[in-house]
Structure 1
């Protein structure tokens, strides 16, 4: 009996937590289970993301940029680690935090404007990593700015790769 129950649990796969959509932007911890919904957006899986990518829909990566650590001794050489993303994606770094500084808000607004060609109904895919609230926050902000063609890809980079998407490429950060 116990064996049968254990086998059934193993075959069922991991349990997924039901996460409610919050009324505001989400802060720490950013890497945590995300809701299955985002009001005003279309939530897509990896297969849908690959179809949209093949159709030329712009992809926006909102994963943060790693900066030089504070307190490094003078003369210490520091090289920014490379960030890899879905081919063709625009890296709108640091635009998925709970609260955005004016420069981050401006970067998001410019990036959305450029990617959409000024058409707030144009389809756009927003992503970062799997189980990452930053893409949810950025997509929610885009909706609040009046964008109606938002596709949120919660599977992110890991979902893309797991589904056999094209290999990742080195990202160039969008202008500051």
Structure 2
């Protein structure tokens, strides 16, 4: 775990996908979720793919927060709909839909309970949040974790695209219950 602290300390703040012209908002960011993100997140360590890989190798849990695609409402009965596959970083946990600007009480409780399980109730357990490049979902989720008292929060704004480009392949994901 000591090594994971070093990975957090050495993480690069100059991460692809981050935009120094975008100020860090006071609260959470809503629509559009796919838009330029800031290069900072107060209380969290901003990481590039190599730093996220080091943190994971040293015990951090990587958390993918990309929302899950749902069957579109209003499709006529009998219409074939195939749920698209979601690929993520090998070994990552997929917590879909916890990065919105506002969470329902149910989603907030689900997110909080999942972090409790993942961290074993330890607020100093290293957690790294990601999504896609220029996606505010991971920024919002990491910000929530910081506000809930987690002290070793990482934010990997390059997400799965940066991982695939520099660290290797992705793997099919299953949402965490």
Q: Same fold (TM over 0.5)?
A: yes
Tell me, in whole angstroms, the C-alpha distance in 1 between the residues paired with 2:80 and 2:172.
21
Compute the displacement of 1:166 (Å): 3.0
Task: Report the 3-state secondary structure (helix = DSSP H, G, I; strand = E; otherwise coil) of the residue aligned with 2:60.
Answer: coil
Which stretches of structure 1, 4 residues or more, deviate above 6 A after TM superposition? none
Please give the per-residue CA displacement for 1:56-77, whole angstroms capped at 9, x wherever unaligned: 3111100000001000001223
CA RMSD of aligned residues (A): 1.2
SS of the aligned residue for 2:129 comes to strand
Who is 1:110 aligned against?
113
- Partners of 2:22 and 2:34 in 1: CA distance: 13
Measure the CA separation in 1 of the matches of 2:58 and 2:124: 16
Q: 1:168 aligns with which of 139, 147, 170?
A: 170
Q: Distance in 1 between matches of 2:30 and 2:134?
A: 13
Equivalent residues in 2 for 1:56-95, closer than 5 Å: 56-95=59-98
Unaligned 5+ residue runs, structure 1? 1-15
Matched, 1:36 2:10: no
Q: What is the aligned partner in structure 1 of residue 128 from structure 2?
A: 125
Q: How many pairs does the alignment contain?
A: 159
> TM-score under structure 1 normalisation?
0.86
Secondary structure at 2:163's aligned position in 1? helix
Structure 2 CA distance for aligned equivalents of residues 42 and 139 of structure 1: 10
1:95, distance to aligned residue in structure 2 (A)? 0.3
Deviations 1:81-132, CA, capped at 9 Å, x for gaps: 1110001111100000111112221221122111111101111110001111
Q: Structure 2: where are the runs of 5+ without partners?
A: 1-18
**Is contact 2:20-2:39 (8 Å) kept?**
no
User: Distance between the aligned counterparts of 1:147 and 1:26, measured in 2?
Assistant: 20
| Counterpart-to-counterpart distance in 2, 1:82 and 1:116 | 27
